[in-house]
Amino acid sequence: MKTEALIAMLANGPVQVAPGAVARRVLAAVAVGGAVALGVVLAALRLRPDLAAAVHAPMFWLKLAVPVVVAALAIVAVRRLARPGGRAGPVVAIGAVLAVVLAAFAVADVALAPAGERAAIVLGRTALPCVVLVTALSLPGLAALFVALRSLAPTRLRAAGAAAGALAAGVGAAIYALHCNEMTLPFVAVWYALGMAVPAALGALLGPRWLRWS
């Protein structure tokens, strides 16, 4: 086909598009992933039984805040990386600084605790389920975000995959926090972080292959 013919054909159909497609599709994917994860927590895992009392503890909100901040930073990165030529931008540096701050508080928490309690406040009682379930609750969101990204046009596929993984992980971990009854900062800094790192790494691993569009 001649190029002019192609151009005429492309311009022959409707060309108009509504602005804001990137934001809409990313948010829809987050909503789908979050809804599925919330459904699993409500139906299978159950909310923590003392939820009504826990909401008065600052630690409950801090535990929720960590993944929410991860998700907030990651959604900025995903929206930028979803466009041709887009880069993650300054959110990576901001995230790194916040991670260092969180780690510092966690280390201080451990250092200030009586020697006999140190292991307990780091390990908690649910370390392994935490990592596994945070990862599992992130997977629906990761899948939905990959579908959304494939309809957009990322050109840095590994970064886009990692950002999608981090976003899904932030949402998944925030919802898991409604079920989890661990109440120490070092636990969050180690096991939540690990649980969120797995989907991010998975996204980075799968991005170059699965986010390819043509």
Partner 1 sequence: MEDVEEALRSALLLALSGDNEAYVAFLTRTGAHLRSYFRRRLASSPNDVEDLVQETLLAIHNRRHTFEPTARLMPWLYAIARYKLIDLLRAQSPRRAIEVALDDDEGIAELVHADASPAETRRDLARLLDALPDRYRLPIVLVKLEGRSVAEAAQATGISQAAIKVGIHRGLKKLAAIVAKRR
**Minimum distance from residue 108 beta carbon to partner 1 (Å):** 41
- The CA distance from 127 to 135, in Å, is 13
Length of the chain counted residue by residue: 214
Does 49 help bind partner 1 (rule: CB under 8 A)?
no
Closest CA to 50 of 60, 41, 42: 60
Does 1 help bind partner 1 (rule: CB under 8 A)?
yes
Identity of the residue, 17 or 44, whose beta carbon is nearer to partner 1 in the bound complex? 17
Q: Considering only residues 15, 44, 52, 115, which one is a binding residue for partner 1 as defined by CB under 8 A?
A: 15
HEC readout, 61-97: HHHHHHHHHHHHHHHHHHHHHCCCCCCCCCHHHHHHH
- The CA distance from 185 to 188, in Å, is 5
Q: Which stretch binds partner 1 (CB under 8 A): 18-26, 38-46, 134-142, 179-187?
A: 18-26
Half-sphere exposure of 131 (CA within 13 A, CB side): 13
Does 158 help bind partner 1 (rule: CB under 8 A)?
no
**Minimum distance from residue 206 beta carbon to partner 1 (Å):** 18
Does 52 help bind partner 1 (rule: CB under 8 A)?
no
Give the pair of three-digit tokens for residue 164: 């999608």
Q: How many CB atoms lie within 10 A of CB 62?
A: 15
Q: Which of residues 74-103 bind partner 1 (CB under 8 A)?
A: 82-86
Q: Give the residues lining the site for partner 1 (CB under 8 A).
A: 1, 3-4, 6-8, 10-12, 15-19, 21-22, 82-86, 152-153, 155, 213-214
